[in-house]
Each structure stands twice: as C-alpha cells, then as structure tokens.
Amino acid sequence: MSINVPRGTKDILPEEMFKWHALEELVRDTCRLYQYKEIRTPIFEHTELFTRGVGDTTDIVQKEMYTFTDRGDRSLTLRPEGTASVVRSYVENKLFGLPNQPIKLYYMGPMFRYERQQAGRYRQFVQFGIEAIGSKDPAIDAEVMALAMKVYEKAGLKKVKLVINSLGDTESRQAHRDALIAHFEPHIQEFCSDCQNRLEKNPLRILDCKRDRENPLMTTAPKLPDYLNEESAAYFEKVKHYLEVLKIGYEVDPNLVRGLDYYNHTAFEIMSEGEGFGSITTLAGGGRYNGLVEDLGGPEAPGIGFAMSMERLFLALEAEGKSFDNQESLDMYVVSMGDSAKDKALSFVSELREHNMSVEMDFLDRKVKAQMKSADRLHAKYVVVIGDTELETGKVALKNLSTGAQKEMAFEEIVENVEQLKLSWQEELA
C-alpha cells in the first residue's frame, strides 16, 4: 500500500522552489528596509498560550488546533498563528528592556490548522507576519499596513485593496457588545449553533460568521463606529490621516472584525480583486492587540501586526497573470567521454564549485548527445566537453549555449576567470 501526503498538506517540489526562494528574499529585503528583524519560534507551544492569547471563543481554538499530549503529560499545540508565539518570546526574553523601542520583528514559517482544504488554504501553510511591540502611536499602524502593501507591490500585484476598521478600546467594545447582544438575542435561534454559543461569550464574532452572512439581521446589526468613544474615534482618524500621508488608498468597512479575540483599535485586511481569484479574497489581515502582552505576563506594551499567506499570494499572482522568474539556472555543465575524462570532469567540477560556480555533470554514463540535452534542460549558461583530445591538450571548447559562441580555453584559465565569465553572461543578457 502506498503512503500519500496527509490531507490538507502538499509537497513543494524542486521545480517550484525558485518561486518560494524569490518571495522569501523579497520579504526579507522589504523587512530590512523597514528595520524589522527576523524571529524564529518553536513550531509547537504549550496549548495554554493559544487558549489565552488567541481566545478560547475563536474557531481556531475551538475547532482548528492540532493539540496533543506529550510523554510528560503536557498539552502541546502546533502553532496555528504567529502572534501569540512572538509575544510569548517578547515577554519571556524581556525584549521590552532593550534600548531600541518599539521592538520590530518578523517571522516566516509553517502554521497548522484543521480546516477544510480549498484553493490556497491548507492544513499546513506558510505564513509571513510582522509584529511591532511597544508603541501606541497610530503612525506605526500606518507603517505596518504600508509594509504589507509594499510586499504585494514588489511581488507585482496590482489588483489589491486595503480595508480598515476600528474595533475601539475596551469601553467602546463593551458598549458595542451590549448592543449586539440586545440585537441578536431575540432571534438567535435563527442562527447556527456556533453563533448561538458566541452570543454571550463574544457576540462580535457573530458578524464574522460565514454560514449566516445572508441573514437580514447581519445588515441591521449595530455598527462599531457608532459606539466608538471620543478617544477611539480620534485614534482611528489619525490612522487614516497617516495612511493618506503615505498615499495609501483604503476603504472603511464597519463590519470588518477579524477572527481573533486579542484585536482592538485598528483592524485591517488586504484583499485581491483579481478576476477568477475565488470567493475568499483575503490575502492578509492584522490589527492592534493592546493588552495581549499583559495577558501573557508582560508589562504594558501595545502592539500591532499582520500575517499573510504565502500560498494565497501565489494564487493572486496567478490570477493577475504574473509570476516570479526562475533565476536559479546552471552556470556550467561538464560533459565527459570515457573513464579518464570522467575523472577529470569530477575534479574540474569540484574546482569550479570552490570558486562559487554552479556546475553539474553526468552520473548516468550517458552518451554525449544525452548529456547535451540534459545541459539544455537545466538551462546551463556554458557547456564544456572533455574527451581524450581535451585531456591531452589541457584545453576545452567553452560554449555559450545562449549565443552558440565558442572559445578554446585551458582548464586553469576557466577556473581563474570564473568571475569574468559570470560578468560576460550578465552583459549578454542585458
């Protein structure tokens, strides 16, 4: 019986990896420009981190986490999102004590949620996210959104939009919560069992329900902006002002609530408007989480961040007819004829690799024609053929596969001029 990849996961094969490498490099370069530093946290954490940090009323905690008991009878969970882990590390390692504040971090890696598999959504998926912890300045809210938009811009996406809302502070949220309960309670039996359970625990989450989104009560539900106190409204106005300073377009959606309990004040999503992208248009989402650091045992330290799905970014690029170019071609392929030539090829390839050249040779004892076809399939820039004549003279014909031009050179001459060969190739491409 064959063993297949688990449902909701996928293999990323070598021919696809160049896209991932290009995107990861783009992300890291963008974070460098904004002075966000990489952090790597464990793939699994104590389950309590997510029940406390993400919220025990969320779908993530109630339905989607991969939780297990280890041999020490400890409850552990594969991380379903990145913020809780980053904040835990921030508290545990006392990053709040560092002189340069706010602390600006980014992460990139696999997350795990037990969800129904669909296009761009897997049970193991790769997420890139940033967290800025230690500032309550609305200008950093704008910077966080600007960074996310910059990643999509650099990746080549055109048809994206930023949607924002304010969830308000604790006082505003409580006033809105009471209004939502009063609104939904008389008709709550019309809603799904999840919404019925959310009514008292977290009625805001009813607005995020996918099953009951067409219920007329959703349209007439109390809107958060109507319950913002003066301070929360002023904060939101400043966030919008700074987005305008940065010349970043946005839409305000009073129904945008996000799915995690720790959000307050600014909430946002970035959506694809590409034709054929699908019904789930969200590419990235985030917001403020003032209070989360304290909930996890740290000092008062407001924070804001976002997370984006790498898989969904690739889908959005596909919907717009764009892709990353494969830059991972081969510098040289060394063809050999006979055992002695193979010995020389092996040592020659090793020398070139020592000089930082990407080189390949044949390991299947194929004929010259088959080796040349292999060089072509690998998009080799140069090829050399080593046979008895080349061994006697110490020289080979260096052939440029793009132009067909050839030049006779000694083995040592090629090794000594590796950098010039690379430069020549770049000039020819230009």
What is the distance between the terminal CA atoms of the chain, rounded to a whole angstrom? 52
pLDDT of residue 278: 65
Q: Put the strands of the sheet holding 75-78 in their side by side order.
A: 44-46, 75-78, 67-69
Residue 205, classified by CB atoms within 10 Å of its CB into exposed (0-12), middle (13-18) or buried (19+), is buried
For residue 192, tell me if it sits in a domain.
no
Regarding whether 251 and 152 lie in a shared domain, the answer is yes
Regarding whether 387 and 262 lie in a shared domain, the answer is no
For residue 189, tell me if it sits in a domain.
no
Regarding whether 400 and 336 lie in a shared domain, the answer is yes
For residue 175, tell me if it sits in a domain.
no
Q: Is residue 62 over pLDDT 90? A: no
Between strands 251-252 and 264-272, the pairing is unpaired
**pTM: predicted TM-score of the whole model, two decimal places:** 0.87
Q: Is residue 391 over pLDDT 90? A: yes
Regarding whether 402 and 304 lie in a shared domain, the answer is no
Regarding whether 346 and 379 lie in a shared domain, the answer is yes
Structural domain containing residue 47:
14-169+229-319
288: CATH = 3.30.930.10
Calculate mean pLDDT across residues 30-53: 96
Residue where one domain finishes, among candidates 298, 319, 340: 319
pLDDT tens for residues 159-202? Answer: 999 999 999 998 888 888 899 899 998 888 888 888 888 888 88
* Alpha-carbon span 76 to 66, nearest angstrom: 9
Mean residue pLDDT of the chain comes to 91
Regarding whether 371 and 305 lie in a shared domain, the answer is no
Residue of 69, 142, 146, 135 whose CA lies nearest to 102: 135
Tally of domains in the chain: 2
Distances (CA, A) of 107 to 22, 36, 139: 16, 10, 22
388: CATH = 3.40.50.800
Residue 117 pLDDT class (50, 70, 90 cuts): confident
Higher-confidence position of 262 and 410: 410
pLDDT of residue 205: 79
pLDDT tens for residues 10-29? Answer: 999 998 999 999 999 999 99
Regarding whether 259 and 366 lie in a shared domain, the answer is no
Place of tokens 């897997």: 122
For residue 186, tell me if it sits in a domain.
no
* Alpha-carbon span 68 to 7, nearest angstrom: 18
Regarding whether 338 and 309 lie in a shared domain, the answer is no
Structure-block tokens of residue 158: 């055109």
* Alpha-carbon span 234 to 218, nearest angstrom: 27
For residue 220, tell me if it sits in a domain.
no
Regarding whether 297 and 339 lie in a shared domain, the answer is no
For residue 388, tell me if it sits in a domain.
yes
Q: Is residue 380 over pLDDT 90? A: yes
Residue 119 pLDDT class (50, 70, 90 cuts): confident
Q: Is residue 410 over pLDDT 90? A: yes
For residue 129, tell me if it sits in a domain.
yes
For residue 6, tell me if it sits in a domain.
no
Half-sphere exposure of 75 (CA within 13 A, CB side): 8
Regarding whether 356 and 288 lie in a shared domain, the answer is no
Q: Is residue 356 over pLDDT 60? A: yes
pLDDT tens for residues 187-241? Answer: 888 888 888 888 888 888 788 787 888 888 888 888 888 889 999 999 999 999 9
